[in-house]
């Protein structure tokens, strides 16, 4: 795994799996503490029906945050396990499906998507993992820039590898409110973006692809280099 | 509709998966008994296709486990053991249906449809909610006789909502059953698709069918605060 960061410091792209997990655990401690405190207080006080309804509502909201974070940690763990059902896949087709799936999201975000695939690009990967990885990578790229941005996706064959390149240019989204997507349990947007990228990277890494991300003044570029065929050991599995 | 195929013959599993996916089911495959048991027990599948001869844990043990944990989950057993006593054993252990190998994909597909039909989820080829009609086989959607053109994903989403008409469906359930992904982080893919669908299905109609349930997700129903039940409208 390599991360190349150019230009000004880019905290949103800095990726360290341990740091990401640590941040997720940190986020987890907040609703757990809040839950414990509010329930302890509720037990000590006599509440009116209205107060009781408020406590239930707050408790539910905190429990949903816990649930989201626990699921996120489980997903990150699952993503780090190598896929067990690798086969030869056509990357051009897989990206075509992912782009079609997310095109309405791009349209609603005002991001134009250009997809250029010159030749067939077979790769050796687990199909479900590939779909997940592409979904999270495209989701990250689309969520990084605001209306008027352009996302260019290109596929190429270089030696024994199939290379997927993505570049998104345009105005960077800033602040928590500027991101058009949902806000799972009011978690910080920056953490969610890092998590989306982290999931994609972890899936590609676990599948043996080389993944890199670069942020420059013009935008964000990501590249994933996939093996075109599996090793003898892989293929015998 | 999400189906788990527990089958250790990779070629057969791949063939079944591709066939079912072409019929717009979301399909997961497991070639290992332990893994299949864990997946079927922990994840939310609408049906399990179970081979009896799996490595590490055989299908009979999985069948016993699932009947205890998920008594209403439809299970279709696939096996090369075609003796009457084997079939009786499977059905007695709680399999809902049994298909001996070799089998044709058309028959497997028909049996899956039949099982879905018998289970709690309606799986008839034509679904109807109020004046909205979806034909799975013809891939056709109509509202009050007006044809609605949907993309493949919009069709799957509408089918899922219609099969669960009157129930509150979370975004996580939609991403799992329609996209066959376990997690959506911060793309608003479900909301965007539901909005597209809503425009095509509800715009111009006095009665809105797709409702946002604040803090939960969505519900497709002819009844809501804005759409009071009318005499003769079907119960959902």
User: How far does the CA of residue A9 sit from the closest CA of chain B (Å)?
Assistant: 23
pLDDT value of position B230: 46
CATH code of the domain containing B153: 1.10.10.10
Does A143 contact B182 at a Cβ distance shorter than 8 Å?
no
Same domain, B60 and B108: yes
Check whether residue B87 and residue B181 sit in a common domain.
Answer: no
Look at residue B192 and tell me if it is in a domain: yes
Pair (B114, B20) in one structural domain: yes
- Confidence band of B196 (pLDDT split at 50, 70, 90): very high
Residues B109 and B6 in one domain: yes
ipTM: 0.74
Average pLDDT, chain A: 80
Q: Do B188 and A136 touch (CB under 8 A)?
A: no
Q: Which residues of A touch B179 (CB under 8 A)?
A: 101, 135
Q: How sure is the predictor about A4, in pLDDT bands with cuts at 50, 70 and 90?
A: very low
- Domain limits for position B20: 2-118
Q: Establish if B158 belongs to a structural domain.
A: yes
Q: Is residue B229 part of a domain?
A: no
Residues B30 and B106 in one domain: yes
Q: Are residues B114 and B6 in the same domain?
A: yes
On whether both B53 and B85 belong to a single domain, the answer is: yes
pLDDT digits (tens, 9 = 90+) for A6-65: 344 444 445 567 788 888 888 888 888 888 888 887 888 777 888 888 888 888 888 888
Topology of A1-237 in CATH?
Heat Shock Protein 90 (3.30.565)
- CB contacts < 8 A, A to B, total 71
Record: contact B182-A78, CB cut-off 8 A: yes
Domain stops at, among B118, B141, B159: B118
Nearest-by-CA chain B residue for A237: B10
> For residue range A164-193, what is the model confidence (pLDDT) as tens digits?
999 998 777 655 443 344 455 567 777 888
Between chains, do A128 and B180 touch, taking CB under 8 Å as contact? yes
Does residue B157 sit in the same domain as residue B177? Answer: yes
Residues B70 and B111 in one domain: yes
Domain shared by B43 and B74, yes or no: yes
| pLDDT tens-digit readout, B45-98 | 989 999 988 999 988 899 989 988 888 889 999 887 767 777 788 888 889 988
Share of chain B above pLDDT 70, in %: 90
pLDDT in tens, B156-194: 999 999 988 888 888 888 888 888 787 766 678 999 999
Mutate to test the interface with B, among A63, A69, A105 (most CBs of B within 10 A): A105
Are B101 and B134 members of one domain? no
Question: Based on the structure, what is the number of domains in chain B?
Answer: 2
Question: Which residues of B are less than 8 Å from A85 in CB distance?
Answer: 10, 29, 31
| CATH code of residue B87 | 3.40.50.2300
Q: Among all residues of chain B, which has the CA nearest to that of A181?
A: B188
| Per-residue pLDDT band at B124 (split at 50, 70, 90) | low
Q: Do the domain assignments include residue B171?
A: yes
Q: What would the DSSP string read from start to end of chain B? A: -EEEEE-S-HHHHHHHHHHHHHTT-EEEEE-SHHHHHHHHHHS--SEEEEES--SSS-HHHHHHHHHHH-TTS-EEEEES---HHHHHHHHHHT-SEEEESS--HHHHHHHHHHHHHHSSS---SEEEETTEEEETTTTEEEETTEEE---HHHHHHHHHHHHTTTS-EEHHHHHHHHS--S---S--HHHHHHHHHHHHHHTT-SS--EEEETTTEEEE-S-SSSS---TTPPP-
Q: Which of A225-229, B107-111, B147-151 has the highest mean pLDDT?
A: B147-151
Interface test with A, best of B27, B185, B195 (most A CBs within 10 A): B185
Please tell me whether residues B6 and B114 are part of one structural domain: yes
């Amino acid at each position: 795994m390599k991360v190349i960061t150019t230009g000004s410091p880019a905290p949103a792209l800095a990726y360290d799996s341990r740091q990401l997990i640590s941040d997720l655990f940190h986020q987890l401690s907040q609703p757990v503490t809040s839950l414990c405190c509010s329930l302890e207080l509720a037990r000590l006080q006599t509440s009116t029906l209205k107060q009781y309804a408020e406590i239930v509502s707050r408790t539910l909201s905190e429990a949903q945050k816990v649930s989201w974070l626990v699921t996120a940690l489980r997903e990150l763990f699952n993503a780090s396990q190598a896929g067990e059902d690798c086969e030869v896949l056509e990357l051009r087709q897989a990206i075509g499906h992912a782009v079609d799936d997310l095109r309405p999201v791009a349209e609603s975000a005002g991001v134009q998507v250009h997809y250029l695939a010159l030749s067939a690009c077979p790769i050796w990967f687990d199909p479900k993992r590939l779909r997940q990885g592409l979904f999270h990578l495209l989701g990250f790229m689309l969520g990084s820039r605001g209306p008027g941005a352009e996302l260019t996706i290109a596929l190429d064959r270089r030696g024994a590898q199939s290379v997927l390149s993505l570049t998104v240019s345009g105005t960077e989204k800033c602040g928590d409110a500027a991101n058009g997507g949902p806000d799972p349990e009011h978690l910080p947007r920056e953490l969610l973006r890092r998590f989306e990228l982290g999931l994609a990277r972890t899936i590609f890494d676990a599948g043996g692809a080389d993944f890199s991300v670069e942020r420059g003044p013009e935008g964000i570029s990501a590249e994933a280099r996939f093996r075109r065929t599996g090793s003898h050991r892989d293929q015998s599995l | 509709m999400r189906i788990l195929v527990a089958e250790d013959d990779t070629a057969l599993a791949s063939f079944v998966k591709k066939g079912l996916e072409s019929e717009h089911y979301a399909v997961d495959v497991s070639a290992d008994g332990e893994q299949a048991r864990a997946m079927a027990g922990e994840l939310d599948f609408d049906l399990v296709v179970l081979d009896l001869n799996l490595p590490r844990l055989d299908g009979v043990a999985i069948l016993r486990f699932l009947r205890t944990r998920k008594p209403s989950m439809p299970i279709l057993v696939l096996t090369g053991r075609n003796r009457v006593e084997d079939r009786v054993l499977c059905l007695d252990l709680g399999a809902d249906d049994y298909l001996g190998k070799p089998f044709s994909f058309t028959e497997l597909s028909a049996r899956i449809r039949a099982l879905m039909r018998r289970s709690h989820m309606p799986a008839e080829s034509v679904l109807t909610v109020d004046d909205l009609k979806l034909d799975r086989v013809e891939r056709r959607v109509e509202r009050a006789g007006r044809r609605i053109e949907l993309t493949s994903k919009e069709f799957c989403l509408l089918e899922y909502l219609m099969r669960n008409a009157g129930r509150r469906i979370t975004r996580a359930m939609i991403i799992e059953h329609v996209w066959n992904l376990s997690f959506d982080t911060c793309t608003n893919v479900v909301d965007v698709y539901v909005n597209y669908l809503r425009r095509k299905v509800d715009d111009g109609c006095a009665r809105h069918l797709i409702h946002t349930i604040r803090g939960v997700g969505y519900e497709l129903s002819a009844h809501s605060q804005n759409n009071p039940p009318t005499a003769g409208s079907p119960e959902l």
